[in-house]
Chains A and B, each alone.
Chain A
Amino acid sequence: MTQQASPTPDDRQPSPRRGAGYFVCLAGLAALGIVLGALGDYADPRALWSGGAAAKAGAVVGAAVLGTLVWAFGGFLYRTLTSLPFAVAILTLLLLATVLGTFVIQGAAPEVYETKYKGWASTLLGLGLDDLFHSPWYVGWLGLLCVSLVMVPIRRKAWRRPHWGHGLAHLGIVVVLAGALIGSRWGLKGHLDLHEGRSADAVLVAAGPERHPVAHPFGFAVRLEDFDIEYYPPEYKFYVYERTGESFRPRKTVTRKSADAWTSLGAAGIEIRILQEIAGSRLPSESHVLLVRREAGAPSEEVAVKPDAVVPVAGGAWTVRVLAYFPDFVIDSETRKPSTRSPHPNNPALQVEVTPAGGGPAEKRWLFARMPEFDHGDGAARPGPRLTYRYVPAETPAQVEIGLRQGGREWRHRFAAQDGDPLELPDGKSILTYELRNEVKDYRSRLAVLEGDRKVLGKTIEVNDPLAYKGFVFFQSNYRKEDPTYSGLQVVRDPGLPMVWAGFLMLCAGVIVIYYVKPRRPAAAAGEAA
């Protein structure tokens, strides 16, 4: 940690104007960015790849201009591009541009910008900030950074032992970026949708400025032999959510195990305990039951009713006929007549006709399973028996009955195991739910590589463990819970990848060598470098 590196060219040339040099470089690079941005509006740099005649002519002219500049100002450019002020300036600009790119959504549809950025949308789109990281000016700065990163080790004679860490680190970045460029130019990336038993021998890749899909054949076929999704053990839990504004924020969970005894819900001193489990049941069909009382306080009898059937109740004192059944009762907003919103029994309602056995006027009534007191609303004034409607669904989900207590007060509630409604807690801002956590742990595709009809390779891939064959790499990408035979694969061919790996290694090794194998004395030991 003590050996002093020999002075660098920069170190040997102290100049009080270095600060000014930084701002000059900053201004120059900013101006170059503006020029590149403006040129990019007239000619898409990607057209150079596709090889239009005009684009090629433009490239030739550009190269000629660049060559002339290098010939005329080579020494000046060399000194500038290898100077510290230039390095800091280009790092500053790339940093600011990258920050900007995190405030503007990238690559979205124009309407997304209209919604998100309102009045700024047209400005952002006009400046091409929706694809900032591929804009001519950002790419131009990266290119210039690479030129600088190549020249600096040359100027520092990085092949000499004291500086080779320096050379590794700088050139490592260039090698990474060159590998990335090769990958984007000659590589491909596409998505493959496969079902079990099906195979594919090509992948569709969006290409060209219009992003038309083009088929890229593999030269072999890939068959999905099997796909499976592995889940974590499913678990029901109680969740307490607190209302903050218009949304609910989860505040606490209580596992079933801890709710075997009284456990705090973390809201207004309320505690919870599981009282009993109620198993689900399945009947041949749904049914409607009336609880009939001759008068308030009298014992009730249960009577099963059906639409259109006449049933005697209260020892034959009255008969009840079901006139209509609405599984999901609603008053139609246009016709103002009773109707059903859906075939699902969300709000079951019956219209019944009650007739005295000894003759007399029949009376029509509305009964609601969710509002059992409705029939009794006008109290003793109503003649005839008191009716309460209970809807018995064909399928009853398993339920859990819980006890809740707060201070001296205690009450009960039942949660259905599936699709249970939340329970409002008495603190006025929290709700309690009972939810199933059923998360995917892993998903795997058993792939077979086929050359003709012959299986040449087989591998089960999963996220973090792809299959590679003849330059193509197949990554496990996605699944569809509703379609268990489907597997989504990402297909990548990246000829630049070895360079990217090599560059990463060079960068890491270079940084370690610079600072720990051949350490430099810290720059903050002021004046030393000057």
Chain B
Amino acid sequence: MDGHGLVWLTLALFGVTVGVASVALLLRERFWMRAAVVCLVAAFLAGTAVLAARWVEAGRPPFKTRYETLLLYPWCLAVVTLLLLCIHRLFVIVPFAALASVFCLGYGLWNPDIELVLLPPALQSAWFVPHVVAYFVSYAGLLISCVLAALAILNPSWCREWGGATALPPGGGTGPVHEPLARHAHQAAVFGVTALTLGLVMGAAWGKFAWGDYWSWDPKENWALVTWLAYMAYLHLARMPGWQGRRSAWLLVVSFGAVMFTWLGMHLLPTAEGSLHVYQ
């Protein structure tokens, strides 16, 4: 099976996971949720094979281009989702993480690399893998926090059983939220922010060794800072009485927009032309 065939297989497995997990949520059947987890594990294994095959074929870590990050992100999402399943039994995120993976792989297959890009000298560094992986693990945590925050706001009946207890505390802000989901959203955000901080610092350290500058106000660097500032604002705002609950959940949803823009929207900026970091 060639590289694209494996990607299609992974996409199909994530697609099946979406379907099975949705059925499980609607029917509230544990059997179906277990089946969804099995599908997710299969998709994770297929995603691992995709990355491994490309790593071998390219002879370098497959994290260079937008297409390759679109292959990496579903893998990170699967890892973080499986971790949260193990630790918190947070089944409610399964269909959403799988759906996001389907979108990523679909976008990647719609717009794939036409050839294996060779690694320029600056990327031949020991910082490359930890920096990129820290960022995409962080993005995975932040997507999950965004989904959980949205669910906490919407508070649909079908996710109560799978997202923790059903109790609705008074909350703050302008209305009640699903408290356990909001708490998990916060924890996922904290996890994402921790990885984001590590990724940001590793990127700065790498820049120093490669170019002599740990910060050069490049548009992509600036948007990485914007994302970090947004989540820092959230972490502080979430402690302010009157801003907890619904408002801070909304902030988690909105802040994820900065993540998406930093990752996939940089080419839209008028300043992108001079950037060292924007995907071509």
Contacts and interface: CB of A to CB of B under 8 A. Distances in A.
B197 interface: yes
Contacts of B239: 10-11, 84, 523, 529
B202 to A, nearest CB: 9
A50 B210 CA distance: 31
A415 to B, nearest CB: 18
A91 B253 CA distance: 18
A526 B171 contact: yes
A464 interface: yes
Nearest to B121: A463
A251 interface: yes
Q: Which of B186, B229, B249 has the most CB of A within 10 A?
A: B229
A18 B194 contact: no
A464 B120 CA distance: 11
Given A88-B233, A466-B212, A525 B242 contact: no
Q: Which of A99, A116, A530 has the most CB of B within 10 A?
A: A99
Interface in B127-171: 152, 169-171
B279 interface: no
A104 B271 contact: yes
A418 interface: no
A440 to B, nearest CB: 7
Contacts of A477: 211-212
B126 to A, nearest CB: 8
B183 A527 contact: no
Interface stretch (B10-18, B46-54, B62-70, B214-222): B214-222
B124 A463 contact: yes
Given A465-B209, A516-B194, A103 B244 contact: no
Contact of B236 (A87, A133, A462, A512): A87
B16 to A, nearest CB: 28
Interface stretch (A301-309, A385-393, A419-427, A500-508): A500-508
Contacts of B170: 526-527
A91 B251 CA distance: 14
Interface string A1-34: 0000000001100111011001000000000000
Given A252-B114, A466-B212, A84 B233 contact: no
B41 interface: no
Contacts of B120: 439-440
A77 to B, nearest CB: 19
B264 interface: no
Interface in A488-530: 490, 492, 497, 500-501, 504, 507-508, 511-512, 515-516, 522-527, 529-530
A251 to B, nearest CB: 7
Q: Which of A14, A87, A105, A524 has the most CB of B within 10 A?
A: A524
B274 A105 contact: yes
Contacts of B191: 515
A473 interface: yes
A103 B222 contact: no
B243 A530 contact: no
Nearest to B195: A511
Contacts of A437: 118
A443 B121 CA distance: 8
Nearest to B205: A504
B232 A91 contact: yes
Interface residues of A, number: 71
A101 interface: yes
A111 to B, nearest CB: 15
B109 to A, nearest CB: 13
Contact of A508 (B197, B219, B223): B197
Interface in B224-270: 225-226, 229-230, 232-233, 235-245, 248-249, 269-270
Contacts of A530: 172, 241, 244
A507 B121 contact: no
B201 A22 contact: no
B7 interface: no
Given A527-B169, A527-B172, A507 B194 contact: no
A232 interface: yes
Given A95-B233, A189-B212, A504-B204, A524 B118 contact: no
Nearest to A492: B212
B232 A116 contact: no
Nearest to B182: A524
Contacts of A462: 121
A530 B197 CA distance: 28
A476 B177 CA distance: 54
Nearest to A519: B190
A450 interface: no
Nearest to A183: B214
Nearest to B115: A253
Given A504-B201, A508-B197, A512-B194, A526 B179 contact: yes
B219 A522 contact: no
A14 B244 contact: no
B198 interface: yes
A376 interface: no
B13 to A, nearest CB: 26
Nearest to B248: A524
B197 A464 contact: no
Contacts of B197: 507-508, 511
A126 B225 CA distance: 26
Nearest to A179: B214
B38 interface: no
Nearest to B206: A464
B152 to A, nearest CB: 8
Contact of A16 (B226, B242, B249): B242
Given A237-B115, A524-B183, A475 B236 contact: no
A94 interface: yes
Nearest to B148: A524
- List 8 A-B pairs, minimum CB-CB distance, nearest first: A523-B238, A522-B186, A463-B121, A524-B182, A524-B186, A91-B233, A530-B241, A95-B229
10 contacts: A18-B242, A88-B236, A99-B222, A102-B219, A463-B210, A500-B214, A515-B194, A524-B185, A526-B177, A526-B244
Given A15-B241, A103-B270, 16 more contacts: A99-B223, A180-B215, A239-B114, A441-B121, A442-B124, A463-B121, A464-B124, A464-B206, A464-B210, A475-B211, A508-B201, A516-B194, A524-B177, A525-B186, A529-B244, A530-B241
Interface of A: 10-11, 14-16, 18-19, 22, 84-85, 87-88, 91-92, 94-95, 98-99, 101-106, 116-117, 133, 180, 189, 232, 237, 239, 250-253, 437, 439-443, 462-466, 473, 475-477, 490, 492, 497, 500-501, 504, 507-508, 511-512, 515-516, 522-527, 529-530
